[in-house]
């Protein structure tokens, strides 16, 4: 079982392979040799080199929004898709305008597209956010398929719910980057709950019995 998150050696970063733990995945060099071959495949090579170059060019200088635009331009992408949560409609509008000003075609699809009531998919009416009112289901599969239909070159996930984002990634034909991870409690900055795990979020991060 691999436990990289609790490793204090990080031989992968320093290159000091003689210090790697016994359960380090790097003990299996044959595995990594085979993985390396994947990066040389035509569908991966330029994409990976460009993303690595963006890391260098924008390191500690560019916000993720600019990194995304720079990456798309260097990849030669013309049509960008945005799958967004309706709760972040204003933010999606800003991103759409900024990308269009930079010469991209932008196709955006809201999570509530289809206007299908949550109860139609088998969701309990007792667990609606506003019981007794009309509540549309989030529709990440439709978002992905609509962007597929629009033949987007690259897609942006902007604030989709946990799990809904996973389904969007699954059904999207184009590769996806996440621009905003939804977290209403932290102002959409989920790392805050990690940084404050031993203080303000000590109990709020724990699953209740």
| pLDDT for residue 38 | 98
Interval 56-115: pLDDT, tens:
999 999 999 999 999 999 999 999 999 999 999 999 999 999 999 999 999 999 999 999
Token pair of 108 as six digits? 């955006």
Q: What is the dihedral of CA 30, 31, 32, 38, to 10 degrees?
A: 110
Per-residue pLDDT band at 125 (split at 50, 70, 90): confident
User: Would you list the domain boundaries of the chain?
Assistant: 26-61, 65-209
- Please give the class, per CATH, of domain 65-209: alpha beta
- Provide the angle, in degrees to the nearest 10, between the axes of the packed helices 64-74 and 89-101: 40
Helix (H, G, I), strand (E, B) or coil at 88: helix
pLDDT averaged over every residue in the chain: 96
| pLDDT for residue 131 | 83
Q: Taking the chain, what is the end-to-end CA distance rounded to the nearest angstrom?
A: 27
- pTM for this structure? 0.94
Helix (H, G, I), strand (E, B) or coil at 186: helix
Does the pLDDT of residue 24 top 90, yes or no? yes
């Amino acid at each position: 079982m691999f436990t990289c998150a609790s490793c204090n050696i990080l031989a992968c970063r320093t290159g000091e392979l003689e210090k790697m733990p016994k359960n380090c995945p790097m003990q299996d060099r044959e595995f990594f040799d085979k993985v390396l071959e994947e990066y040389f495949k035509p569908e991966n090579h330029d994409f990976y080199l460009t993303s690595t170059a963006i890391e260098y060019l924008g390191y500690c200088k560019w916000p993720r929004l600019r990194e995304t635009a720079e990456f798309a331009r260097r990849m030669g992408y013309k049509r960008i898709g945005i799958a967004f949560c309706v709760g972040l409609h204003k933010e999606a509008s800003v991103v759409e305008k900024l990308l269009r000003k930079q010469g991209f075609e932008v196709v955006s699809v809201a999570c509530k597209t289809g206007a299908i009531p949550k109860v139609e998919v088998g969701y309990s009416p007792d667990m609606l956010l506003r019981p007794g009112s009309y509540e549309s289901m989030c529709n990440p599969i439709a978002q992905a398929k609509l962007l597929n239909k629009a033949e987007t070159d690259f897609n942006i996930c902007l604030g989709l719910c946990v799990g809904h984002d996973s389904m969007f990634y699954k059904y999207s034909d184009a590769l996806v980057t996440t621009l905003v991870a939804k977290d209403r409690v932290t102002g959409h900055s989920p790392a805050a709950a990690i940084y404050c795990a031993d203080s303000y979020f000590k109990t709020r991060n724990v699953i209740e019995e």
